[in-house]
């Protein structure tokens, strides 16, 4: 989806995942479109903004508000597309946490939603771009969340934040996890949704 002309600018396509329940999103800032496409627990909305009337790609964005009804997203990014951040506010989903990555015309962002089980269970969502995996998990009762990273080599995933690994098979992923801090361990599964 990302245009080559946006690869080193603040415009383009950004993709990510969230927990606080489970969801994913795309920020579109190209071809005259300025919107956040957001899906949470299977419900989707396109959020529009009035905060960027004179913005052009290559200029920074700071705390631009995107809205649809009572759904809100606040987005910021640097002049070259670096350090993107987004805060999601959806009623009934307090404290939603996100992972966001800029897509390049030469390097697609693959988005996965999943779950983990074992000594703890909950939501397990992540994105993959090239060899880098970035994700976030939250326990089913909402009592704990953890950002995690890993490396992808072909169809093999190796987790770095947690001890664990995984395998990619088409759009499906699965693996094991172990948290040396809590002593917890178990398995995780997921599916590519973008």
Say if CB 154 and CB 76 are below 8 A apart.
Answer: no
| pLDDT of the residue at 74 | 98
Residues facing 12 on adjacent strands: 29
Mean pLDDT over all residues of the chain?
Answer: 96
- Could you tell me the CA-to-CA distances from 194 to 74, 111, 139 in Å, in that order? 21, 5, 23
91-141, pLDDT tens digit by residue? 999 889 999 999 999 999 999 999 999 999 999 999 999 999 999 999 999
14-67, pLDDT tens digit by residue? 999 999 999 999 999 999 999 999 999 999 999 999 999 999 999 999 999 999
Q: Is the pLDDT of residue 1 over 90?
A: no
Q: Dig out the tokens for 109 from the structure.
A: 């962002």
Q: How many Cβ atoms from other residues are within 10 Å of residue 91's Cβ?
A: 9
Say if CB 59 and CB 53 are below 8 A apart.
Answer: no
Average pLDDT over residues 164-180: 96
Average pLDDT over residues 148-168: 95
Q: Is the pLDDT of residue 183 over 90?
A: no
Please give the model's pTM, rounded to 2 decimal places: 0.96
145-153/132-139 β-pairing: antiparallel
| pLDDT of the residue at 135 | 97
């Amino acid at each position: 989806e990302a245009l080559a002309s946006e690869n080193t600018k603040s415009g383009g396509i950004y993709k990510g995942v969230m927990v606080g329940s489970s969801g994913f999103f795309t920020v579109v800032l190209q071809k005259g479109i300025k919107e956040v496409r957001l899906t949470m627990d299977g419900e989707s909305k396109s959020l529009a903004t009035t905060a960027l009337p004179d913005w052009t790609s290559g200029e920074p964005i700071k705390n631009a508000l995107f809205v649809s009804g009572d759904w809100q997203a606040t987005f910021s990014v640097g002049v070259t597309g670096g350090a993107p951040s987004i805060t999601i506010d959806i009623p009934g989903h307090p404290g939603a946490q996100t992972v966001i990555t800029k897509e390049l015309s030469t390097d697609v962002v693959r988005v996965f939603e999943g779950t983990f089980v074992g000594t703890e269970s909950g939501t397990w969502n992540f994105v993959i771009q090239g060899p880098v995996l970035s994700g976030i998990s939250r326990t089913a009762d909402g009592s704990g969340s953890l950002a995690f990273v890993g490396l992808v080599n072909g169809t093999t995933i190796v987790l770095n934040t947690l001890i664990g690994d995984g395998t990619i098979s088409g759009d499906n992923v699965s693996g094991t996890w172990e948290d040396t801090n809590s002593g917890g361990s178990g398995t995780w599964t997921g599916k590519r949704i973008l």
